[in-house]
Amino acid sequence: MRVLLLNGPNLNLLGTREPALYGATTLADVEARCGNVAAELGATLTCAQHNDEGGLVSAVHTARATQDALIVNAGAFGHTSLALRDALAAVALPFIEVHVTNVYAREPMRRHSMLAPLARGVIVGLGTDGYEWALRALARAGR
């Protein structure tokens, strides 16, 4: 199974961005840990991060020909981006949406996801461990 781990705006700042909310784990740490899990599962992991909406949409389009599934933490775009939602619908690859924090315990504008209705599942509030759980769930479903 080939999986794209796709992160959106500001997630490149994990580890230093509001550590009380997001913790001390960096995006490089997340990618390394998920790489280890992918190897354990016999999967191939590709990682990408974009601070702009167009970069995320383009990455999803490219995934159509190169990946079997996605893990998507679109950051704030998960709450607002119809373009990203449409890209995910168009490529029709299974994906799991991940949020490091519990978005349902935060500000009201974060409690709606444009992506969740299309997702195989949504993992919120488990910190950066949510990425690993998403990868394991996709691998299990792909068998």
Q: How many residues are given for the chain?
A: 143
Catalytic residue check, 104? no
- 35-61 b/e (C-beta count within 10 Å ≥ 16 → b): bebbeebebebbbbbbeebeebbebbe
Catalytic residue check, 112? no
Read off the amino acid at residue 16: T
Q: Which of 50, 79, 99, 104 is catalytic?
A: 99
- Where in the sequence numbering do the catalytic residues fall? 22, 99
